[in-house]
Amino acid sequence: MVPLAAKRKKGLVIVESPAKAKKIGGYLGDDYIVRASVGHVRDLPAKAADIPAKFKKEPWSNLGVNVDEQFAPLYVVSPEKKKVVKELKDLLKNVEELIIATDEDREGESIGWHITELLDAKVPIKRMVFSEITKKAIQEALENPREIDMDLVQAQETRRVLDRLYGYTLSPLLWKKIRPKLSAGRVQSVAVRVLVERELERLVFKSGTYWDLKAELDTESKARFSAQLVTVKGKKVATGKDFDEHTGKIKEGTDVVLLSEEQARALQEKLTSTDWSVTSIEHRNQNRKPAPPFTTSTLQQEANRKLNMSARQAMQTAQRLYENGQITYMRTDSVTLSQEALDAAHARIKADYGDNYLVSRQYTGKTKNAQEAHEAIRPAGTEMKSASELGLSGGEARLYDMIWKRTMASQMAEARLRFDTVTIKADETEFRATGRHVEFPGFFKVYVEGSDDPEAQNEEEDSNLPELKENDKLGCADLEAIGHETKPPARYTEATLVRKLEAEGIGRPSTYASIISTIQDRGYVNKSGSQLVPTFTAMAVTRLLEDYFPNLVDLQFTAQMEQSLDDISMGQAERLPYLEKFYSGKEGINEQVKSHEEEIDPRKACTLKLEGLDADVRVGRYGPYLERQENGERVTAGLPPDIAPADVDNATAEKLIEEKKKGPQALGMHPEEGLPIYVKRGPFGPYVQLGEQTDDGEKPKRASIPLNYDPDSLELETAMQLLTLPRRIGLHPVDGKVVNAGLGRFGPYVLHAKKYGNFDKKTHTYTTDDGSKTVDVLTVDMDTALEMLAKSKSRGKAEPLKVLGEHPEDGQPVEIYEGKYGPYVKHGKINATVPKEMEINDVSLDAAIPWLEAKAAKKGVKKAAKAKKNTAKKSTKKKSAKKAPTKSVAAKKTSRKKSESTKE
DNA sequence: CAGTGAGCGAGCTTCCGCTTGACTT
């Protein structure tokens, strides 16, 4: 709140982030007001509802770009940004100048320009830039303002318009040819393509088998070490690298010995009783350099590898650290450390490890398309305080600790390693043993970057060999023949995908996490553990795009776009010819989409003929299914929803089609009911059913199969028990009321006096606090049920802080409650926060009603959107009702009902 | 709350980047 008698201030400074505004505000003092724009303030309309009425009829309105008039963008202030803009406008009335201090990159420059356009300032406008948030840097920046760089703004607008044209012309083609609501975009389509190509490599991959020997050897002084077979009769023994992944055989022209199991065992037999001796020893020295300080991309990768955090979790955790002033800004592509950071790290290294561990280093970024508006991610401030010194805990402590270590390590000495390679002769074979010795740990003391290969040995670990010299005799304590299979190329994880995208210059620090969400939300990718598995839909979409728009899904497309944008930002090129070439004319995307629209057969676009698979895979409305011709007849069978494309082979296909033909197989007969029990799969997962569906509308008895049971190997006994749920566990020792276990809409539960206890959502089991037992809905006993119930949050009503009175419309009480985010007023199902500066005792009924109304209006919009999905099937009826004269009332009523049912 | 693989309708879906709300279990 601005006090009414506010003195006129010198300037209004606008930055992007509120946390940054706070910090800079502290440096600039009372003469300046510092506020955040909270990101972009204007954008092209995202959806039809955001298009202003007067443009709705324009043929280009959906694009939000007037493609007939110089690609003029239609900018709108999104509803959630209106408040910010209004506040900035009000503040501007009491200052002498407007100072734009947004980030010094393409997007930041554009945000600044949009602000000046919207605020329509009557006072002078200055643009200031800084790359480090220190008092000195800020004041210097303030004294050396510049103008807004319109070339840079143009480059941003070109980027924005191109992305819109790409996305909003290709997506509709996918709706028509493959499935509604699909999407295509410059970034996501390439990301999906990368995953699909890897999946196809796995699909055609042929595994190969090879054998080798591993020896456990003793020196004369009985020190033991192990060695691997490397040559037989002077010829190299085959390893995984020597195989051709398309054939599973040794690559042509490779001169190696491929050992079969028999040969390996014969060799093992022969060598056990032969003489072993050292033929040569080699030493090799190598130094290791620390990894550069974190950028967004490397932070996400390491958090994924070492802390098992998703990109999204890492960013949310980093955001909290940033808001608490504990780390610098977390969305950056720069590896540069400021002088403040260097000083802090150097001092701490000296104090903790000594001078010989300190080396000052400045890294230079080599990331494609880096904008470098911020510094690297590092502990904020001048002291390099550790996580425990800051009193952090949980995920924040772990992430901070990693940032701290990486920053420290980046300023520490190289590690010096010595590798020893010993060659050993046994009969006509050679074995090799390698050792690693850390001669000087340097930065290893603090931090070593993680590996994508979970089996790889840690770099910093010693694996020393015993003292050996040439011609030493060795004893063979054990000789093992080991069989190996070559593995297909690994699927991408969040970490490796982010690294790939960054390396190709695709996507920006602020978007890596959301790219991963988007491709999952659109049904292009499923996550299986840490693997990102593309779906059949992804394959169909990728193939269509590759066939008809190869240059748009080329990995180089973004790099080329960036080149053009650079030219525009430097004033060496114009936006218009670039956009015209992309969109208009014979080769432009508009014409291309139109002409391909006629030639693409949707049935073909949805049909995948996979190498080595006899049946076709088709992507249908209810998911992927198999299709095959048999005696001129079409047979189909649904595929499990989350099956990986590379895991579908002829055997799996055959099994699914056979099962479909036979119809649901009875698990067995229920001995008392005399009816068969089936295992079936519905939209809510696998379930068991007793008897058949009859015509009289009577539904057969059904029960979901909890996640801890495998539907394919479910026993009849278990099925019968599931069908008898809910089950009485016994009587509660305190009040004597019944405790039950059952299956509900949200999974298995235990129930006592209207209070529910829950099983783990992912496993449908529960492990007791002392870890002594794990139970499920069929096995849970009274003691465990009581423990579960004790944990469940009380559904009992909280006491209101204050009762304001009855709502004039319906007489329902209006009350104030204390919530997690401060006090709120409650009326029925509507809750509205009490403004921060209000005292609870000052809140009156009259004051509270407008808050509730505002909240109700907001909620209604959200709920209606949500409810739409659930009632899509019935929508035809609703539409005719809409034409009735009482339209608005009818609409209100239905939306009310829906919101109740969704809440239930 | 429990399968299926086909089509009029009205109007909508969809992009990439920059940021923090909201959530009251």
Render A278-311 in DSSP notation, one character per residue.
EEEEEEEEEEEPPPPPB-HHHHHHHHHHHS---H
- In angstroms, rounded to a whole number, what is the distance separating the alpha carbons of residues A585 and A591? 7
CA–CA–CA angle A208, A212, A214 (5° rounding): 145
Residues 69-108 of A with CB under 7 A from strand B: 80, 103, 105-108
The reply to whether A52 Cβ lies less than 7 angstroms from strand B is no
Question: Do A452 and A239 touch, CB atoms closer than 8 A?
Answer: no
- In angstroms, rounded to a whole number, what is the distance separating the alpha carbons of residues A425 and A511? 56
Q: What is the average pLDDT score of chain A?
A: 87
Residues 349-378 of A with CB under 7 A from strand B: 371
Which residue, A302, A296, A293, A382, is CA-closest to A336?
Answer: A293
The pLDDT value given to residue A457: 66
Nucleotide nearest residue A623, measured CA to C1': B5
Residues 637-666 of A with CB under 7 A from strand B: 637-638
Least confident of A94-98, A266-270, A567-571, A823-827: A823-827
Span A575-632, pLDDT tens digits = 999 999 999 999 999 999 999 999 999 999 999 999 989 999 999 888 899 999 888 8
Confidence grade of residue A366 (pLDDT, cut at 50, 70, 90)? confident
A877 has pLDDT over 80:
no
A847 has pLDDT over 90:
no
The reply to whether A793 Cβ lies less than 7 angstroms from strand B is yes
A857 has pLDDT over 70:
no
The reply to whether A687 Cβ lies less than 7 angstroms from strand B is yes
Question: Do A363 and A293 touch, CB atoms closer than 8 A?
Answer: yes
- In angstroms, rounded to a whole number, what is the distance separating the alpha carbons of residues A736 and A731? 5
- In angstroms, rounded to a whole number, what is the distance separating the alpha carbons of residues A665 and A677? 9
Span A453-508, pLDDT tens digits = 766 667 777 788 999 999 999 999 999 999 999 999 999 999 999 999 999 999 99
Please state whether beta strands A666-669 and A633-638 pair in parallel, antiparallel, or not at all (unpaired): unpaired
A841 has pLDDT over 80:
no
Torsion of CA A362, A367, A370, A375, to 10 degrees: -30
- φ and ψ at residue A615, rounded to 5 degrees: -85, 155
Q: Is A21 exposed, middle or buried (0-12, 13-18, 19+ CB in 10 A)?
A: buried
- φ and ψ at residue A739, rounded to 5 degrees: -110, 125
- With a pLDDT cut of 70, the percent of chain A lying above it is 88
Residues 542-571 of A with CB under 7 A from strand B: 558
Span A168-225, pLDDT tens digits = 999 999 999 999 999 999 999 999 999 999 999 999 999 999 999 999 999 999 999 9
Minimum-distance residue to B15 (CA–C1'):
A167
Protein CB footprint (7 Å) on chain B nucleotides: 1-6, 9-21, 23-25
Strand partners, A620: A623
The reply to whether A682 Cβ lies less than 7 angstroms from strand B is yes
Mean pLDDT on A695-716:
78
Which residue, A712, A535, A687, A522, is CA-closest to A623?
Answer: A535
Confidence grade of residue A128 (pLDDT, cut at 50, 70, 90)? very high
Please state whether beta strands A224-232 and A685-690 pair in parallel, antiparallel, or not at all (unpaired): unpaired
A261 has pLDDT over 70:
yes
Least confident of A270-284, A365-379, A647-661, A864-878: A864-878
- Per-position DSSP letters for A32-47, written without gaps between them: EEEEE--S-S-BS--S
Confidence grade of residue A58 (pLDDT, cut at 50, 70, 90)? very high
Q: Is A778 exposed, middle or buried (0-12, 13-18, 19+ CB in 10 A)?
A: middle
DSSP A442: G
Q: Does A749 qualify as catalytic in the annotation?
A: no
Least confident of A260-269, A646-655, A756-765, A825-834: A825-834
A363 has pLDDT over 60:
yes
Span A516-553, pLDDT tens digits = 999 999 999 999 999 999 999 999 999 999 999 999 99
A882 has pLDDT over 70:
no
Question: Do A525 and A195 touch, CB atoms closer than 8 A?
Answer: yes
A896 has pLDDT over 60:
no
Calculate the alpha carbon distances from A166 to A519, A582, A849 in Å: 16, 9, 46
